[in-house]
Structure formats: C-alpha cells, structure tokens
Structure 1
Amino acid sequence: MVEENKNEKNSRIPFQEDNYTHNILKSGERKLDRRGFMKTMVGAAGIFAVSTLPWGAIAAKELTGLKDKAHPKKKIADLSSLKVGDAVEFAYPGEHDSALLIRFGENEFKAYQNACTHLKCPVFWSKDKGEMICPCHHGVFDAKTGVPTAGPPKRPLPEIRLAVEQEVIYATGVKRYEA
C-alpha cells in the first residue's frame, strides 16, 4: 500500500493544465525573444538604409558636379584702394564665409576662402614672406596657387573667381575642388 501511494504521488500533475506543454506559461514568457529581437534589428537597419537614400543622391549629385552652384556677383574693392602686395578680407559666397583677396601686380589678383583645409583655422597673408599662413598648425600655402607647401594641410585652398570691371574687383564664384 505504501508503494501504491508512492506511485500515485509521482504521477500527479502539480497544477491544472489544458495541454501537454505544462512547462510553458504564456504569462511568464518573455515578450521579446532572440528571433524577435533580430527581426526588429534587421527591420530597423532596412528602414535606416532606405531613409538615407535621398541624402545619398543629393551628395552624389553635389560631388559629381551635376549641379553647378550659382554664386552672386559681389564687389570686393576698388582698384585704387588696393596697392600691389596688399590683401583685403571680405565675406564670400555667404555672409559668414571669410575670404582673402591678394593683389600681386597691376592686373594680377588671387582670392581664396581663408579657412585652412586642415581644420578650418583662419589663414593670413604674410606680405614679407609672400605666403598664406595658418597659425594653428603652421600650415603654409602658396599664394599664387593656393597649394599647401608646409604643415598638415593636404588640399589647396578653394579659389574664388574674380572679375575686374570699371576699376572694381568682383567675386563671381568659387572654383570646384579638383583632386
């Protein structure tokens, strides 16, 4: 009798169940398992990839030069106010974009955006040395070409297109960077 009672005790179900999977309780399940988590991550990555397509198209158009930017014509200085060897600072193409115009000869001018191509520090004209100098990291640029000659900058300064009309110097655009 003791043995029969022992078998009966072992064969009992510990709690009421309505199916054979008594070890899984729906209320105790995790809300997000590994498979669900991976599906969510793949879906989020897909949405992110698709959402960046318009910006990628705009960047590709900009980098390939399909859309040439139009800049306004802006007066920089009168010829009479700028002596040979002098430089003048001006804002171009935007109000907060600093640029530098240098006069080398009677009809020889160059203008560059004066933000160093290394870390955007301001570039200054050194009349004594005939160079454009970035004081932040000792970068030096050739004033006639804008090409870096010393220091960490690797790219030339962006050149500004110029026009001289009726004894006035105008900025007419910014040349595209060519690798």
Structure 2
Amino acid sequence: MPSDKNNKIPFNEDNYTHNIERNNERKLDRRGFMKTLAGAAGVFAVSSLPWGAVAAKELMGLGEKEYPHKKITDVSKLAVGDSLEFKFPGEHDDAIIIRLNENKYVAYQNACTHLRCPVFWVKEQNQMVCPCHHGFFDAETGAPTAGPPRRPLPEIQVKVDNGAIYAVRVKRYEA
C-alpha cells in the first residue's frame, strides 16, 4: 500500500503559482513573434526620425558655422616655429596654433583623426606627430603624411587683428 507521504503535494496549497490555467495562456507562435518584432522596430524607426532630422540639420551647417571670435594670443608672444595650445570652439575642444613664418599661422583641432589622441608640434621635424600610433601630419595643410590617419586634421581659420591672433571658425572636411 502506497505511503501517504508520496501522494502529498510538494508545495503549500495556498501558494497561487501552482494554479496557472494553461488553457487560457496567451499563445505566441513564431509568426506572431515576428509580427510583434517588426511592429516594434517600425515604431522605433518612426519615433527616431525627428532626432535624425535635427542631427542632420546641425551637421549640414557645421562647415559654414562661424563661432564668436576668440583671442588666442598676441602676435608678439608667439615666436616663429613655436606652437601654443588653446581651446576652440568650446572649452572642451583642444586646438593648436603654429607660427610657420613671420606672417603665416596655422591652427588645427588637436585630436588625431585616427583615434582622437592628442597631436603635438615637433619643431625639429617640422611636422605634427600623434604618438599613440605614430601618425604624422603636414603642418602646412594638416594632411596625414604617415601612419594610420587617413583624414586631415580639421583646420581652424585664424585672423590677425591689431597685433592679436583670433580663432574664427572650424573648417570641416568631407569624409
């Protein structure tokens, strides 16, 4: 005769989790799952359109955007062949200006176009160097001359006025 111990329910009768009615459960087959997934993807795509339009509008105007002119330094404080780091257009945007000769100044955003490492002016080599992956840039044009970078450094247009050097705008390059 079987023992009463083996026929006992292994959980408390008051526990509601054992009372699930499987016949009334919602059925979700593969087709229903795919329809739900496609619907969710469609809702996500449509809801992201306004943000994409805002981003595209902002990016389209960056090449022409002129920022408030920012004084970098006085002409007398930057000797021929020397460089100076500064912030432009924002306080978190590193930049570098180089005085190539008596009347020629070039400025670039100070982040390598490969992986955004800082770029340094090496006066003795007459070029800009990214020490992270041995990238080299031509100081005259900002174009890469060696290493992994493929795009030139974004140029910052400068203006000399009343013995001072001002940053005016960032010239963007097409990818």
Question: Normalization by structure 2: what TM-score?
Answer: 0.81
**How does 1:37-56 map onto structure 2 within 5 Å?**
37-56=33-52
Q: Is 1:137 matched with 2:121? A: no
CA distance, structure 1, for counterparts of residue 147 and residue 56 of structure 2: 31
- Cα distance between partner residues in 1 of 2:172 and 2:83: 23
Q: Which runs of 4+ in 1 moved over 6 A?
A: none
Q: What is the RMSD of the two structures over their aligned residues, measured on CA atoms? A: 2.0
Letter in 2 for 1:173: R
CA deviations over 1:51-71 (Å, ceiling 9, x no partner): 221233234334444884331
What does residue 154 of structure 2 align with?
A: 158
1:135-166 Cα offsets, whole Å, 9 max, x none, are 00000000000000000000000000101000
Could you tell me which residue of structure 2 aligns to residue 14 of structure 1? none
Q: Which amino acid aligns with 1:156?
A: P
2:124 matches 1:99: no
Percent identity for Structure 1 against Structure 2: 67
Q: Which has the higher contact order (CA 8 A, sep 6+)?
A: 2
Corresponding residue SS for 1:43? helix
Alpha-carbon distance between aligned partners in 1 of 2:51 and 2:122, rounded to the nearest angstrom: 41
Alpha-carbon deviations, 1:18-71, whole Å to 9, x = none?
Answer: xxxxxxx97255532223212211110101111221233234334444884331
Answer yes or no: is the 8 Å Cα contact 1:61–1:67 preserved in 2: no
Unaligned runs of at least 5 residues, structure 2: 1-20
Question: Alpha-carbon deviations, 1:77-96, whole Å to 9, x = none?
Answer: 10111100000000111101
Q: Secondary structure at the match of 2:136?
A: strand
Find the residue that maps to 1:112 and give its secondary structure. strand
**TM-score, structure 1 length as denominator?**
0.80
Once the two structures are overlaid, the 10-residue window that deviates more, 165-174 or 30-39, is 30-39
**Letter paired with 2:129:** I
Larger Rg: 1
